[in-house]
Amino acid sequence: MSVPEPPMGLLAELTHRCPLQCPYCSNPLELERAAGELDTATWLRVLDEAAELGVLQVHFSGGEPTARRDLPDLVRHAAKRQLYSNLITSGVLLDERLLAALVEAGLDHVQLSFQDVETANAERIGGMVGAQAKKRAAAALIQRAGLPLTLNFVIHRQNVEHLPAMIALGAELGAERIEVAHVQYYGWGLVNRDRLLPGRDQLEAATAEVEAARARFKGRMVIDYVTPDYYAERPKACMGGWGRRFINITPTGKALPCHAAETLPGLNFPSVRDESLAAIWRSSPAFERYRGTGWMAEPCRSCDRREVDWGGCRCQALALTGDAANTDPACALSPHHPTMQAAITAADRSPASDFVYRRIGAAPTVRA
Amino acid sequence: MTPDDTVPALGRGVKFRFDAVRQAWVLLAPERLFMPDEQAVEILKLVDGVRSLGAIVDDLAGRFNAPRDLVARDVATMLAGLADKGAISL
């Protein structure tokens, strides 16, 4: 067993608590309650261990990370260890006092999410009345504080038509970066797939819009774009490869190679309560399981892209083919690829509402 | 081609530092990072928001005893690439 390269990024999911209920949330269907969350001292130790292991960037996420009162302490500690700190927030709990504390602590960057530009639709998608005004206020505070800002828009069939206005909002708010990400269909997104998956015409229009905006804002605003797998011919390198670049810590302290990995059966994910981050990264069987290319079967094993996409997403392979060790069905070479076409056909017929909102206990027992 | 009197600077929220674990310089930016090669590291060390592009080129051409126009082209190409990615402001 060779020693893996150190991870680049740590995703610190501080809490699953969140005032919003977005139906495509990347959190697992089984949400953790506040009582099970790691305490401050443990997070501070994790940050120390991350810096020593070679982590360069820490993404404070959730849930809503600003729901944790110790967030400024964690940011300050990250800065002390020269970890680049990124806050991934919905903005609805961000007031002047908290932002000032975060700036003083040395926060490097904020990613602020919007569910849409159109208020009624945004608040219907996020499941929180009054959220949009709070987000606009948060953006103004961030801009005034001089912090670099990314606006995040998750797009899907029920908001994709507003993409031009989303990009215009980024320019209006002085964002250096916009992230336009199609819903990824795992967990809650998969539950709501039929209500969210865009049509091919919508996807093509969105892609063309992004390309035009990139040319228009070249050198002033970066636009990152994440496409949906369902129209792809080849899979994405999920997390840059299993156990290669990222380590994700859940609110209760489980270490995962990706935020959805707990859906995979037969893997025991170690806890930072019991083991050091270095021991977890270098030698835990769960991180070794799909690392590199040795685990691959055909068509991945002999594919010249095996070290480009690393076989795609294990969670998607499990959810759509029943076996996490299969090639991601986003790949046209997978015998399961037609399941994606079938999902597109099903989505086109379904009604445009009735989300299953992300709430504790709301997960359906029969999965989509 | 970027004019010689342009003063390149790191973009807002961008940090350039030495990583002791990898024994390598890293350029950290909002939700992305770059591992510059040796030549790019020498250029980035001179990007301080004060020096002009021309001064950076003069410095490198002198220190590495290289033709100025060749250095100028390499520096401009490298910085323009990073500017497109939001890591450098020109």
Of A18-32, A69-83, A299-313, A340-354, least confident by mean pLDDT is A340-354
B54: three-class secondary structure by DSSP: helix
Q: Do B15 and A84 touch (CB under 8 A)?
A: yes
Binned at pLDDT 50, 70 and 90, residue A260 comes out as very high
pLDDT at B25: 98
How far apart, in whole angstroms, are the C-alpha atoms of residue A344 and residue B35? 39
How many CB atoms lie under 10 A from the CB of residue A264?
21
- Stretch B55-73: mean pLDDT, rounded? 95
How many CB atoms lie under 10 A from the CB of residue A267?
18
How far apart, in whole angstroms, are the C-alpha atoms of residue B74 and residue B81? 11
* Residue that has been written with the tokens 């159109």 in this structure: A118
How far apart, in whole angstroms, are the C-alpha atoms of residue A1 and residue A286? 14
How far apart, in whole angstroms, are the C-alpha atoms of residue A99 and residue A82? 20
Q: Do A54 and B22 touch (CB under 8 A)?
A: yes
B23: three-class secondary structure by DSSP: coil
Count interface pairs A-B at CB distance under 8 A: 56
pLDDT at A250: 98
Of residues B17, B22, B86, nearest to A82 (C-beta): B17
In chain B, residues with a C-beta closer than 8 Å to the C-beta of A108 are: 13, 15, 28, 30
pLDDT above 50: residue A208: yes
pLDDT at A366: 45
Residue of B nearest to A79 (CA): B15
Q: Do A148 and B12 touch (CB under 8 A)?
A: yes
How far apart, in whole angstroms, are the C-alpha atoms of residue A312 and residue A241? 8
Q: What share of chain A in percent tops pLDDT 70?
A: 97
pLDDT at A65: 98
DSSP B1: -
Rounded to the nearest angstrom, the minimum Cα separation between B81 and chain A is 10
By residue count, chain A amounts to 368
Structure tokens at A254: 């489980």
B28: three-class secondary structure by DSSP: strand
How far apart, in whole angstroms, are the C-alpha atoms of residue A344 and residue A340? 6
pLDDT, one tens digit per residue, over A81-120 is 999 999 999 999 999 999 999 999 999 999 999 999 999 9
In chain A, residues with a C-beta closer than 8 Å to the C-beta of B19 are: 54, 56
* Residue that has been written with the tokens 């919007």 in this structure: A114
Three-state SS sequence of chain A: CCCCCCCCEEEEECCCCCCCCCCCCCCCCCCCCHHHCCCHHHHHHHHHHHHHHCCCEEEEECCCHHHCCCHHHHHHHHHHCCCEEEEEECCCCCCHHHHHHHHHHCCCEEEEEECCCCHHHHHHHHCCCCHHHHHHHHHHHHHHHCCCEEEEEEECCCCHHHHHHHHHHHHHCCCCEEEEEECCCCHHHHHCHHHHCCCHHHHHHHHHHHHHHHHHCCCCCEEEEECCHHHCCCCCCHHHCCCCCEEEECCCCEEECCCCHHHCCCCCCCECCCCCHHHHHHHCHHHHHCCCCCCCCCCCCCCCCCCCCCCCCHHHHHHHHCCCCCCCCCCCCCCCCHHHHHHHHHHHHCCCCCCCCCCCCCCCCCCC
The conformational region for residue A81 under phi > 0 = left, psi -120 to 50 = alpha, else beta, is alpha
pLDDT above 90: residue A219: no
How far apart, in whole angstroms, are the C-alpha atoms of residue B86 and residue A179? 13
Binned at pLDDT 50, 70 and 90, residue A367 comes out as very low
Binned at pLDDT 50, 70 and 90, residue A353 comes out as low
Cβ atoms of residues A294 and A310 within 8 Å: no
pLDDT at A22: 96
pLDDT at A365: 58
- Stretch A209-213: mean pLDDT, rounded? 98
pLDDT, one tens digit per residue, over B12-52 is 999 999 999 999 999 999 989 999 999 999 999 999 999 99
Q: State chain A's mean pLDDT as an integer.
A: 94
So what's the ipTM on this one? 0.93
pLDDT at A222: 93
B59: three-class secondary structure by DSSP: helix
Q: Do B26 and A56 touch (CB under 8 A)?
A: yes
pLDDT above 60: residue A31: yes
pLDDT at B69: 95
Q: State chain B's mean pLDDT as an integer.
A: 94
Interchain contact B5–A (C-beta under 8 A): no
Residue of A nearest to B29 (CA): A84
Binned at pLDDT 50, 70 and 90, residue A363 comes out as confident
pLDDT above 80: residue A350: no
How far apart, in whole angstroms, are the C-alpha atoms of residue B46 and residue B57? 10
Binned at pLDDT 50, 70 and 90, residue A346 comes out as confident
In chain A, residues with a C-beta closer than 8 Å to the C-beta of B83 are: 219
Q: Do B22 and A6 touch (CB under 8 A)?
A: yes
pLDDT, one tens digit per residue, over A110-167 is 999 999 999 999 999 999 999 999 999 999 999 999 999 999 999 999 999 999 999 9
pLDDT at A347: 81
Q: What share of chain A in percent tops pLDDT 90?
A: 90
Dihedral over alpha carbons A208, A212, A217, A219 (to 10 degrees)? 90
- H or E segment and range at residue B57: helix B53-63
pLDDT above 80: residue A352: no
The angle at the Cα of A39, spanning A35 to A45, to the nearest 5 degrees, equals 150
pLDDT at A1: 53
In chain A, residues with a C-beta closer than 8 Å to the C-beta of B26 are: 56
Q: Do A57 and B33 touch (CB under 8 A)?
A: yes
* Burial A270-284, CB ≥16 within 10 A → b, else e: bbbeeebbeebbbeb
pLDDT above 70: residue B1: no
Q: In this structure, what are the phi and psi dihedrals at residue B28, rounded to the nearest 5 degrees?
A: -105, 125
Structure tokens at B83: 């500017």
Of residues B30, B33, B85, nearest to A56 (C-beta): B33
